[in-house]
Each structure stands twice: as structure tokens, then as C-alpha cells.
Structure 1
């Protein structure tokens, strides 16, 4: 019996040892225990088991780089494509406090704790609240080349980010992949899409940028309610932890690492028109003429890839363009700028250029043959894939792309840069070898390296000129080089059933903004699907347009020969569309001011409400509305046949922008009337909104007057806005050359005080003479108006407004009783104005 008992015990022990071995094998290599550390200035290296090491680099008191190396060498194939600056203000050495079971490091905002056995990283705020931490011993797990980091998931924690992704803004409970994919007519929850931006933010006051270009994956509690993870099939476990009091501060820390967004030329913020077969001179002239005849504002006409003679020789197709340089000039005289498409490949049928690139080794190679990779392409036959990671390619490509720029073309949209057809199922593409590595590492940054070349070469050939470049495929850090659009949206099976895809463009656009793509557009009308019944399509077109004019770049586009110009849908739709586009142009001073804000802070123009109202949990799941800047709230109608819109108003008071009078208290859901010609649009009480007169293209009339719509706040509470202006074309804004004008307003019991500060002149001032026009929204009829203590004369509203373009000397005011607006006209001489408006009791 004793022998049997001993045998049973031994068998049990062997089973337990085997199970433990299986569990260890299943879990993979972890860091084990941490035994010591080394300090090197702002870096601390912790020594773990099996020669593994963990580097904590303190970029600032809020930003910490974490690099886990299983062999302790801290080597990577390539330097970061996204991160350009790690020196964010940390001074001196790091102080480590050693305790019996842990090490601790303190910054002004954070307490970092590293448990010794096993290694476990935790980050607390200065009040000892746990923000972020490893899940048990699984802060790092490696199986073969696959790496993963598991983090403790709080029950109420929500996640946002990852750039341009489908589905809801809130990522909690879902998983996502980073693998730039050509997904035409993508579904409302389809993943992955065109761009890979492995940066996300948590409601727990932190953001994470996982600096790995492979097919990374993020699982935000999709496997467990106890943990979330980010992982990659290869590469290094390098990530940046960013603390912030709010999301804005986290975004500021992210752009400090990855760079500020470039500003587009001013005209890029107007309206633009495109179509898949926009590929001829005659057509471009005809479309331009129709816009001007019908007085529908438009700044840009695109040309799709069929404009080229050979893919991608940058020569105009001779059969389609008779005198392209003259065409571009004459369209420019009418206010149109031409943007053309480029693809990142050279067709084999374009023998001269293909042989040139092939002989120079400018194509990605096929490791199986050692020859240039033979890439099937949707048009132009099989191609060579230009290897933009090879330094010599840049000048070669730049010389080619400069040819149409010399003809007057203003910029490019870089299409198909995934590169196209290199989706998850296209495993043959993994045989491509680029100068900087194999395709599994380069795939997600391929479009990024292309856009970098396009922009840097544009700057080289066109010094001090702003680039226009809009891209489909991208990686983190793209904001330094390019803008974005959401690719091939819409329903390809039945264009009339594209309502869900349209509605999905709102969270896609807001998600793009969170990935620092502040200058973005959806293809208005949706790209996919043949339009056979324009009457049936008209409602969807109108509603998409009403959303699209609040996309910063606003491009109407559709595949093939499917026309989506406003007039093809009939007179009613044309009129509604014109009004929507005119609103965009009127708001240009407001939009351009926020373009500068985007450059300075990374904050997008289209904002998810939680960016401004982070403590309102109702904003976490708002996928059908957004803020446009700080002061405007847009709630597009996205349901077929709907004539009302249910929307949420955050704290404060909100005024219906369309009637200027209806006021609603915040922190509630409301339903408003929204017939086909109405965009549900609200302005925050206390806002000041600058605007300009309607023009057919941006700055058609350089000396336009700037109006300030003042929506006064409660008695005694000041409102303000700072108008930003620069030349809109050069890169002087990067040198601090601009001007600003601050306007404030405050309501008193029997009067209003409005102050226009003297212009802050930083080397730029508006050209020519112009006026400021104050539009004070109030129900109180003015008794008198004083400017700098001088009483000014009253005149009729139509007389005052008519003088906006012709009289740059007199001061006057008027009262529009029907609209409840007091107008005050002032010459903009750059000087200080104090306006006092006496009226009736506003209590």
C-alpha cells in the first residue's frame, strides 16, 4: 500500500510538472523577476531573468518610453518612423527609490512602481490612484517572435483612438488590427482599413502609442473583463505612456513625440469636386464653367489617375489634354486649383520609366527571384512597386512629380498606397523586400514613406510653398506630411442602400481626428455604387453633402462615370447643396482659425464631444454628432426619410444656429425639426463666430469684411474669440508670421460691452482695406451705440451691409428687429475698439 501511495504521489507530481510546463509553454516567455537596475541620465534599465531588460526613458514628467528587450541589446531594425522627438523637457537624472519588494520613481505628476518578483510595471497619479498597470506577470509575453503586453482593465475604463477605424468611437469590448488594406465599399464594422495609427487613449487619463509597424493587434477587453492587450507578430515591444489631465493634454504629448500637423493652403478648406473619370481637359473646363454659371462655390477640381499618359510618368495623356498648361492657367484665373492623383507604381507597359527604375534598383524586390516584384494592378497592367524607403528614390520621384507642378497643378492625392491589393489575404506580397526591410515590417509604413517623399520633394522644388497632399494609406506621424480621406465608402451593391455606410463616416471621421488627421474628408455621396436613379439618390446625396461641408477638406467624389455634381440631382437639390456649400464658405474665418489650432495642438476641427466634455459619460457613445471647433455642434441627419433629429446637448446653453433664437439647456437629449434643407446646427451660448461674405472661391475678394456673430453669455460672463490670419499660401506660419485679433463681449444689466483688441501683428497683416461687422444677437433694441466713447449714427441694415465692401472709413450701426440682431460696422485699421451698446433691460 505504501508503494502504491508513493507511486500515486510521484505520478501526481509528474502530472503537475507537466501541466506547469504546458502552461509556461502556452504563456510563453515572461520577464520573471527583476534583480537590479542601472541609471543613465533620464533612462533606467531594469535587469530581469534570462538576460531580459526593461528600459524606462523619461521623456518628460508625463511621457515615459517603455522598451522591453529579451536579449538586453535594445536593437531594432529601423528607427521609429513616427517618433521624431523624445526630448520633451526632462532635466537631470532619474531618482530610483528601492524598497524590499519594488522600485519607485516619482515625477511631479506620476508615481511609477516596478515590482521585483515578478516584474510588474504600474503607473499611479500623484494622488496614488492606479492609472495603468501590467496584468499579473503578463506585462510582457513572448512566444517565438510574437510579443504581447497585457494590462489590467478597470471595470469602468473606456478606450478611444487608433485613427481611422469603422464602428463606434468607444473601443471597449472590441479588437482591432493594424494592416493597411484596400477595402472598397467597407462595412460599418469592417477592420482593418487603410490607415494604421497604433495610438489610443483611456478614460483613465493616459494614452499609449505602440511603436511597432508590424500587424499589431489591440484587444480592449474582447477576451476578458480583467485585462486588455496590445501585441505584434514580430518586432520590438516599444510603447510610450502619456499622462494627461484630459484628452487634449494627451494629444499634445503625442504630437510632441510625432510632430505637429502641417497647415493646408487656405483654398484647400473650400469645396472640391471629383469623379472617377475626371480625366480630360474638355470635361474639366465644362465642369468649372457650370460651377461658376450656377454660382456654386468651388475651389478645387481633381483629376483621377487616368490623367497620365503612362503609369506613373507624370505626363499628361495626349489624347485627353490638348494644352494642359493653358488649361490649368485659365482655370486658375477663374479661381480653380487642380489636384491630380498619383499611384506608387510604374507599369511595365511604360517601358522607358520601368526599365529606368528597374536598372537603378528602385523597385521592391521579390526574395524568391531577386528581381523586381511583379505586382498586379487594377489598371495599367502589372507594375513595379516603387521602394520609397530607398534614399536614392526621393530625388528621382521628385523630379518626375514636379513636371505637372511646373504646369501649374497645385498638389496631389496619393492613392492606392497600402499598396493596393496587399490585404491580409494577399500573403504573396510578404515576399517583397524593401530597402529597409521585409514587407511584413514595411507594409504599414509604405504609404507613409511615399507621402514623406512627395512632401519633402515638393518643398525642395517649391520652397516656402504649402503642399496639398491628401492620402488614403498612412501610419502614425502622417500629420507632418499629408492630409487624409476615408477611402472607398458607400454601398457598391446598391448605392441607394448606402445609408449605414454614410452614417458610419461620422465616427470614422472623428476617429481619424483622434489619430491626428485634422484635415480630412469623406467622399461626399460615397465612392461606391452605380447611380442609375438620380431622383432616388438625391436624398442621400443631400444628407451626405450636409455632413461633408463640415469635413475640413469637403470633396464630392464617386466611382467611374457616376456624376455627383450638385446640378445632376435636379433644381431642388442644387439649391439645397448651394446653400450648404455657401455656409462652409461663410464660416471660413472660423474654420481657418481652427486650422491653426490644429497645427499648434493636434486637436481636430471635427471633434468627438468627449474631447471638450471629458467628464460627461454620455459623450462616450455619441457616434452621430460632433463639435466643429469649440463653439459649433453639428448633428447630421443620417436616416433615410427622417425629418427630425434626436441629439444630445452637453452642459451649457445651446442656440439653434438656423434661427438664431431657440435656446436649449444642455445635458439633455432633444429632438429637433430637420427637413431636407436643414442641417441641425447649434452654437454654444457665449460664442463669438467669425464669418465672411459668400464668395465663389476662397478670397475671391481679398478685402472682404469679417463679421463677428456675438451670442452673449449670461450677465457678467465674458465671451471671447481670437481670429487667426496669415497669407494662406506660404510656410511663413511655421516661422511665426501671422496676425491675431481678439474680440471679447460681456453683457451687463442694461448694456453690452464689446472689445476688439489692437491687432497682434507678427509680420503679417491683411491686404487692402476692410471692415469689421459686429452682429450682436439679442432681443433688446439698442438705444445708442458708442465706439471709443463717440456716439455713432444709425442706418438701415441693408445700407450698412452694402457699405461693407465700399466704405472703409465711417462707423455706423443698425437694428434688425425681425432677426433680433444689432449690427455695428467698423473700419479694420488694426487699432483698439471699445464698443458700448445701450439697450433695454435684459433681465
Structure 2
């Protein structure tokens, strides 16, 4: 009994000590009491705290608030924000502050901001007085040694999403995450940190937080307590932006207002692409390209990995591997292929001429212990110098080098190893590295970002009004202004055949990437990691990777070393199924490209977590195995070995099996559907109008291709609409709003279905002359079809399908009894037209 009593006392003592360390902190510095405030400008207030600390509140708009805590009262930073490029989000006028005995309060049209005086505590309410966000007691700011922490109130039902490309479930509640760009080959399904650092998250309480700090920050979403969550940093500032929105879409809109719009990829980037670690030869590139065309498998891009260079990183073609690279690129282009090259951010010492040049110019990071260029071990090429992209003079120097293959016709780059590689948490020697803009602990997470910025800005400088293709592995918040993203080296390196969990985890990784403003994203189809010793045994896993990967905005098959992952190496069945999946990607191009423009305008990803469209459905918080492509398509990839069925959650509304066009499921509910190896569970929202195109071997192989409208009629008397977006797909004219848009509206009535093609809106861009083919998924055979009041001739389905794409005078319709599809063909004149299908 005495022994038990002592243990209880000891446990109580330990609990008291732990609680004290969390709340009082002993020697911890806190803000203390708020004693006064000072109006700095029309939208800035500084609150003065006992002990000399100060807190800056800046209204960027009525819904976006900047909070900056300064322990010593001096609001200074070693570098301006790398991510935020605009703080003027619409605020005008002055702040109306009211003072009460216990607090200061200010109001906007959407928010009530309260600063409690004793002690200082920031609280933000919506206009209905609902508490959205609050410091946890007096711990809104805590400084302990060199660690800065901020604790916030955590509600029992509060959920969190975001932080960009992270493993694990999309809901961050109960977990902790670090921001330290890390090279993690063959990473596990819960490994953290990974390659990118995006310290932006959203709460189910209608707010988002961007913690604008480049150091090794850490987020703890209730992993330590059910009463609070926290974010912290070992350096820099507690400086964050609070963003209110009625839904997640509005919060994302605020975030891109701060950090900038995403660039749009060239149109061909939305095709399929093929790569391999040892894609490093001219003859191989030609052979692979010829094989794709001979087998009629659509493909737009062939990559070359880093072994293409003569010397790391001189941007010269490897002489033994490429006889006439410019001619090679030209020949590939004639077949519709674009070539993308890898680049690394280092210069090998073995590349003596360029290394000595950079060293003499001071273009490398330096070692503070010696004052010399930092000696960086590298996975290949021997020890290297790390190019310092924060130094302004480096930009033109690097741009001139990288332009050499671009002048040969290469279309862009993928920037690899930009963490930089071999600089993970345990590699503390890197902390002796000094960049032009600061020490490595501050610059590490933005190193890849500064590289991508140089690559893109130099591309624009040398290739005016041309879109850049640049896909990166390592990045920081704001990357969307310069680059696209892929998820790095996934897969099971120990046994490639056991990579099912890694593939499944790529779905929430991709969805979280989208929530962190990487709307144009890809994984490596096949998983990258692991030696493929038996392609037949790998076939099922490869097919399921492919069926998921074609719904990535950017789709690339890639594997390490000389492991071939072209569709045909896995056997005929896998080749045929892969071809069908890739063909579907191409057919969906007009739909996908329209959502690419929406991503540019709003920041919304193409591949969407369901909570973006159904924020009030709490079931969407745990949907890690399915997603929306745009708003109208629901995709649920099969990610289990041997599975022939799939459990799918259909949200509110009615959803139609995309493959048969007939089977309807009413949500919200879970369903089980058939999913044999040759089937990707895809559903289309009832009422949807999907613009599609015929299968081509590369994007816009046929410039005057017909626009195919797949229509799934909605409920009686309910109107549906879709606005097709088009531009030249190559230039930056889209940034100047040079495009065309065509709106289609449809309505189901008792008498039949009416489709209105509205007059095309042309802002400096006009599509090729073409046809429109309407495919209406009807329940009964129609009696008549008319266009603008004139009856259209009925023909057999085969006759309608045989109309040449360049015959623009044909008006006809057909009925397919098996599929239940009414097809109508008419010329796209750019003028309005009304099609009536009578029951």
C-alpha cells in the first residue's frame, strides 16, 4: 500500500511538472499585459506589452489579418518574405478601435478582433460573435531559449487540413509535422518531413493560417493536448497571416492573394509523359518515341534524367550519348514529342572549368569555418559546389547556361535534388553553410524555391512570351508562381511488388499538395523505388498506378535506374489497359484545361479533396482514397492488391457511373462498386456537361478536332452549365486574358432536353474551325432533334461517326440503342445555337 501511495505521489508530481512547463515555463518569456496601443498607419496597430514586447496587427483586408510578435519591440527581419508578394488585399480607410476596461476591440465587415489586456490575448470572432481563433490563455507567444512558440485554443471538433505535400491522412488533427525540406527516397506512408515546406493550413472553423517563417518550424495539431495546438520555430519571427472564409475555397483565394497566382503549364503538359532514371541516350529516346507511336499509345513528353549532361551542371549534352542532340529534338518534335531535361543545383568539382569559374565569381555558398566554397558531397558527380541562387548575380549566369539546351529545342526542365539533397535534419554540418541572404538554417527551406525562381525568370527572359515547363521536388510556399510539383521518390525500395501502401498514400499526398497551392502536380507512376525483376508480377500494381496517375494533372511514368516502365514491358493486358487509361486522359483534355484556367484564377486544384466542394459534410474529412477532378468527376482509384471491388463515398446529389452512363447512385452514402483490373471507378455528377475531344497521339495533333459534349441530363427543370476555356496553350497571353470561352447550358423538361450553345466570347483568341458533337445520355429514344427550330436529319450511328472532322456543313443526329446515347453533329460557328431533343 505504501509503495502504491508513493507511485501515485510521484505520478502527480510529474504531471504537475509537465503542466507547469507547458503553461508557466519557468524562465519563459511571455507577452504579459497589454498596456497601450499605437496607430502606425491606416491599417496597422502596434500593441505595447509589459516587458517591452510588441504585437503588430495589420489589416490586409476585412478578412485577412497579419500578426507579428516582436519580443524586443523591433519589427525587423533578415530577409523580406519569400512567399508573400502582396499585402494589399482590399483594405481602405482607417481602423476604428474601441477600448473597454478589459480589452481593445476593432471590427471589420466580417470579423470582430479582440485584444484582452490582462494578460495579452488575441481572439478573433466572426460577425455573429462566434469564436474562430484564439490564443491559448496567455500563451499566444512564448519564448524559451531560442525557441519561439505560439499556442492556440483547440476545439473538440476542430479539424485541420493543408501543409502541402505531406504523408498520412488529409486531416492533420492529432498529428505533428516539421518543415525541413528533406531528401527521403522510398519514404514510408507516415514519414515526415519530406521535400517541400508549405506552412499554410486551414481549420474547419473557417480560417487559415500562413506562418511566414522559413526556419525548421513545427506544427502540433493537438498531438500534445486536446486543449491547444501550436506552431513554433527555432529562429526568425512569430509572424503569421490569419485568413477568414465562409469555406475553404475563400481561404485559398486569400492565400493566393498573398502569395501569387499559379502559372499555367503549356497545353502539352497535360498529356502523358515517360521517363526512367537512365533515360540518357539519343538512340534510346528515338526508340521509345517510335514505340509509343507504333503502339498507338498517346504520349507528349520524353524526359532525360541527369545523366544527359557532360559535366554536372554545364548543360552540355554528353558527347558519347548524343550524336546530334539538336536534330534528335527536332525529329522528336515532328512526331509530337517534347523533351524535358533534369537539372541539379550544383557544380561538380570534376567539372573543373565551370567549378573554377563559379568559385572565382563567388557564386557558391561558403563554409563559415573556412571562408571557402562549401564542399558538398553529392549522390553523383563527386563533391560539388552549391550554387547560391540568393545572390542576384547568379541569375543571369545560370540563365545563360540553361539556355543552351533550350536553344536546341528542349522545352523545359525538372529541377531535382533542390532540398538540397543529403541535407536532412541529421546532416548538421550543412548548418555551417552561408548563403548570400543568410545562414543555412534560414535559407534551407527556400533554397529550392530560389532556384526555381531563377530557372523560370531566366526562361522568360530568354524566351519571351513563352510558357515555362518546370517541375520541382523541393519547394516553399509561393512555389506556384514559378513551378509545378511532383512527390519525389515513392514506392517500396525493399520490394517493389509490395508498394501498394505507398501508392495508396499518394492520393492524400496529392490532395494535400493541392490544398497547399500545388494545383499542377504529379507522382511517379510505378512508384520510382525498387528494382523490377519480374515485370509480369509487377503488372497489376503498374496498372493501378497508371489508373491513378492519369488523373494527376501532370502524368509521368518514372522509375529508378534502368528499370523500364513503358506500358508494353508489362505484357499485353497491362499495355491495353494502360493505353485505355491514357486515352481517357487525352479525351478529357478540354475539361481538364478549363479547370487549369480556374486554378490560375482562384488557386483551386484540379485534383480536389471532396471537402473543397462539400465543406459541410464531415465524412469528407476522412476521405483519403478518392477525389474530385474538377467538380463534375469523382475518381476512386483501386489501391489494394487483387481487389475487384471498391468502396466509394458518393457525396450529396446523384452520381452516374461514367463507364456505362446509366447506373445512378444517390448520395450521401457509401457504396461498393465493381472494379476489375480494367476498370477505374469514375462517376459523373448528374446534370454535368463534359467537354471532351477525340483520342489523339499528342495534344492537339489534330488542331481542328471536334469538341465533344458528353451530357448527363439533370433533374427536371434544373439547369446545368459548363463554360469551356481555350487559349493558344503555348504563350503567356493567358496572363493578359487573351482567350475564348464558350458557355453551354442544358435543361431537362418533360418534353425532352434543351441545350443552348451560347455565342463564343473571344478576347483576342479564336479556335480553329470545327464541329461540335453532342452526346446526350438519354433514357428513351427521341422522336425528333432540331437546331434553332429546324429539324435535323437522322442517320445511322456509324454514318455520323464517319463524318470527317473537316466537314463543317453536316447537321445530323443518331440514336444508339445499346448505349442510350443521342448524338448530334453541327458546325461550331461561334454563334449561339439551340438544340432540342424531343422525347
Q: Same fold (TM over 0.5)?
A: yes
- State the alpha-carbon separation in 2 of the partners of residues 43 and 23 from structure 1: 30
Deviations 1:55-82 (A, max 9, x none): 1100000000000011111000100000
Partner of 2:627: 626
Q: Distance in 2 between matches of 1:781 and 1:680?
A: 27
Alignment of 1:665-676 (within 5 A): 665-676=666-677
Superposition pairs of residues 117-156 of structure 1, within 5 angstroms: 117-156=118-157
Given that residues 139 and 149 in structure 1 are in contact (C-alpha distance below 8 angstroms), is that contact kept between their aligned partners in structure 2?
Answer: yes
2:300–2:338 contact (8 Å) kept in structure 1? yes
Aligned to 1:262: 263
Return the alpha-carbon distance in structure 2 between the equivalents of residues 290 and 537 of structure 1.
21
SS in 1 for 2:167: coil
How many residues are paired up?
822
C-alpha displacement of 1:26 = 3.6
- Measured after TM superposition, the shift of residue 257 of structure 1 is 0.3
- Per-residue deviation at 1:24? 4.6
Residue 720 of structure 1 and its aligned partner are, at CA, apart by 0.5
- TM-superposed CA distance for 1:806, in Å, is 3.1
Alpha-carbon separation, structure 2, partners of 1:509 and 1:361: 38
* 1:804 CA displacement: 4.7
How far is 1:91 from its partner? Answer: 0.3
CA distance in 1, matches of 2:382, 2:364: 16
TM score, norm. by length of structure 2: 0.97
> 1:375-416: CA deviations, max 9, x gaps?
000000000000000000000000000000000000000000
Rounded to whole Å, the distance in 1 between the matches of 2:95 and 2:661 is 56
- Indicate the residue corresponding to 1:821 in structure 2: 821
| Correspondence for 1:279 | 280
How far does residue 752 in structure 1 lie from its aligned partner after superposition?
1.1
* 2:387 alignment partner in structure 1: 386
Q: Secondary structure at the match of 1:526?
A: strand
- 1:145, distance to aligned residue in structure 2 (A): 2.0
8 Å CA contact 1:145, 1:235 repeated in 2: no
Deviation string 1:197-220 (CA, Å, 9 cap, x unpaired) is: 000000000000000000000000
Deviates more, 1:23-32 or 1:791-800: 23-32
Q: Distance in 2 between matches of 1:221 and 1:391?
A: 42
Give the CA deviation at 1:52: 0.8
Aligned to 2:834: 834
**Structure 2 SS opposite 1:90:** coil
SS at match of 1:501: helix
Q: 1:21 to 1:454 in 2, by over 3 A?
A: closer
Residue correspondence of structure 1 range 83-94 to structure 2 within 5 A: 83-94=84-95
Q: How does 1:427-576 map to 2 (within 5 A)?
A: 427-576=428-577
Residues 547-696 of structure 1 aligned to structure 2 (within 5 Å): 547-696=548-697
Asked whether the 8 Å contact 1:652–1:665 carries over to 2, the reply is yes
Deviation of 1:789 after TM superposition, in Å, equals 1.1
User: Match of 1:9?
Assistant: none
Alignment correspondent of 1:810? 810
Name the SS for the 2:802 alignment partner.
helix
Distance 2:437 2:57 in 1: 27
Asked if residue 370 in structure 1 is aligned to residue 371 in structure 2, the reply is: yes
Distance 1:637 1:256, change over 3 A: same
- The whole-number CA distance in structure 1 between the counterparts of 2:121 and 2:804 is 67
| 1-structure distance, mates of 2:703, 2:667 | 39
**Cα deviation digits, residues 246-280 of structure 1 (max 9, x gap):** 00000000000000000000000000000000000
Query: RMSD between aligned alpha carbons?
Result: 1.2
Tell me if structure 1 keeps the 8 A contact 2:459–2:468.
yes
CA–CA separation in structure 2 for the residues paired with 1:752 and 1:695: 30
- SS in structure 2 of the partner of residue 722 of structure 1: strand
Does 2:797 align with 1:792?
Answer: no
SS at match of 2:595: helix
Deviation at 1:21, TM superposition (A): 11
Distance change in 2, residues 1:354/1:409 (3 Å): same
Distance 1:349 1:612 in 2: 53
* Other structure's SS at 1:399 match: helix
Separation in 2 of the partners of 1:510 and 1:710? 27
Shift of 1:51: 1.4
- Shift in alpha-carbon separation, 1:804–1:143, aligned structure 2, 3 A: farther
What corresponds to 2:292 in structure 1? 291
Is it true that 1:206 corresponds to 2:207 in the alignment? Answer: yes
Shift of 1:655: 0.3
Shift of 1:25: 4.8
SS at 2:58's partner residue?
strand
Verify the 8 A CA contact 2:23 2:139 in the aligned structure 1.
Answer: no
Deviations 1:417-441 (A, max 9, x none): 0000000000000000000000000
SS at match of 2:559: coil
Contact 2:704 2:806 in 1 (8 A): no
The question of 1:761 aligning with 2:742 is answered no
Q: Give 3-state SS (helix, strand or coil) of 1:540's partner.
A: helix
| Contact 1:705 1:804 (C-alpha < 8 Å) held by counterparts | no
Whether the 8 Å CA contact 1:195–1:472 is kept in 2: the answer is yes
Spell out the pairing of 1:178-189 with structure 2 (5 A cutoff). Answer: 178-189=179-190
Asked whether 1:70 is paired with 2:71, we answer yes
Q: Residue 248 of structure 1 corresponds to which residue in structure 2?
A: 249
Instruction: Report the Cα distance in structure 1 between the residues aligned to 2:791 and 2:206, rounded to whole angstroms.
Output: 52
CA distance in 2, matches of 1:273, 1:571: 18
Task: Encode CA deviations 1:431-457: one digit per residue, 9 max, x unaligned.
Answer: 000000000000000000000000000
CA distance, structure 2, for counterparts of residue 135 and residue 21 of structure 1: 15
Which sits farther off after the overlay, 114-123 or 788-797?
Answer: 788-797
Equivalent position of 2:10 in the other structure: none
Aligned to 1:33: 33
CA distance in 1: counterparts of 2:89 and 2:401, whole angstroms: 38
The answer to whether the 8 A contact 1:770-1:804 is kept is no
